[in-house]
Amino acid sequence: MKSTRPRPDTAPGAGPPSSARGCGIKKRRASPFLTPPALGRRGRGLALLAGLCACTPATPPPSAARAHPAIVSLNPCSDAILAEVADPGQVLALSHYSRDPRSSSMDVAQARRFPATRGTVEEVLALHPDLVLGDTFLGPAARAAYDRLGIPVAQLPIAMNVADSRAQVRRIAALAGHPERGERLVARIDAALAAAAPPPGAAPVPTVVWQSGGIVPGEGTLIADLLRRTGFASFSAARGMRQADVLPLERMLADPPRLILVASDAHGDGDRLLHHPVLAALDGTRRETLASGLLYCGGPTIVRAAARLRQVRASL
């Protein structure tokens, strides 16, 4: 999910100005959680922090005193995984997206147990993380600022299928220092998918996942892989459509699928689409809802998505 975070103007510098030294901002010591390549990129550019002196506390004890890294997550997909595999005390903040039912991929009540961040460099720096979990949409200016400030960043690509998600879970768990928890989460994912698998020989159910505006996820998306694994056939993927393509209503009416999964959200758009009078005229097409928060992220979200797809298939 692409995030829209401000990109701070940063400037390289030889070290903190005297005003920064006077207000308690210190050069970060080498983190034991950095890999050698990341250590080589560390710089001393703290000039952009001069304006933060009035509000930034002195640096806490160095991360060498921590058994496991303290982490900030900037993306709702990594939020959900991190909350599962890290100790609560390791999670300095999750992205603000996870507190919003419209964009969260995890239980909002669970997300609200952790501090939230909007992801600005200044805000993240004030939390003194050992590691930042970002995505591939992290702006180059923000990434350069983290590098200059000596804060390692793990940029995680979108999980396009279940295999990608397994790898992402294992990576985040390893970065958090708890690889065994990653393996347990992967086992839960695999068990949920096995439980949702169709009976041998069952014909796949042609299915459209339909969002407001006719947006559909097609080939090369996690939900398309989940549909295949749980006894459905992606109607849009079979027609060469990809992520965020638009399927006109007229085209779907001309060749209707057996099932329409209407993406529902906190605004009730799913209910409006579900009861659209034109769709109601499709006698041979079943309509069900699928929470929009189950469409984009892997990790523990797959467990919930598989359970819902299993429920829908059993009702057909």
Q: Give tens-digit pLDDT for 298-315.
A: 999 999 999 999 999 999
Percent of the chain with pLDDT over 70: 76
Same domain, yes or no: 309 and 210: yes
Highest mean pLDDT among 55-59, 79-83, 248-252: 79-83
What Cα–Cα distance (Å) separates residue 87 from each residue in 84, 103, 178, 240, 292? Answer: 8, 24, 9, 42, 28
At 266 the pLDDT is 54
Does residue 182 have a pLDDT over 90?
Answer: yes
Strand partners, 93: 72
At 272 the pLDDT is 65
Any domain includes 257: yes
If one compares 103 and 46, the residue with the highest pLDDT of the two is 103
**Last residue in a domain, options 157, 178, 212:** 157
Q: What is the mean pLDDT of residues 61-81?
A: 84
Same domain, yes or no: 129 and 23: yes
Question: How far apart are the C-alpha atoms of 221 and 214, rounded to whole Å?
Answer: 17
Percent of the chain with pLDDT over 90: 59
Cα–Cα nearest to 235, from 211, 216, 214: 216
Does residue 53 have a pLDDT over 90?
Answer: no
Same domain, yes or no: 33 and 130: yes
Under DSSP, the state recorded for 59 is P
Helix and strand numbers (H, E) in the chain are 14, 11
Range scoring the smallest mean pLDDT among 64-68, 127-131, 162-166, 234-238: 64-68
Structural domain range at position 211: 201-315
Same domain, yes or no: 74 and 146: yes
Same domain, yes or no: 58 and 143: yes
Any domain includes 146: yes
At 268 the pLDDT is 54
Tell me, what CATH number does 121's domain have? Answer: 3.40.50.1980
Contact (CB, 8 A) for 316 and 205: yes
Does residue 4 have a pLDDT over 80?
Answer: no
Arithmetic mean of pLDDT over the chain: 81
Under DSSP, the state recorded for 68 is S
Range scoring the smallest mean pLDDT among 31-45, 139-153, 204-218: 31-45
Residue 83: strand, helix, or coil: helix
At 69 the pLDDT is 98
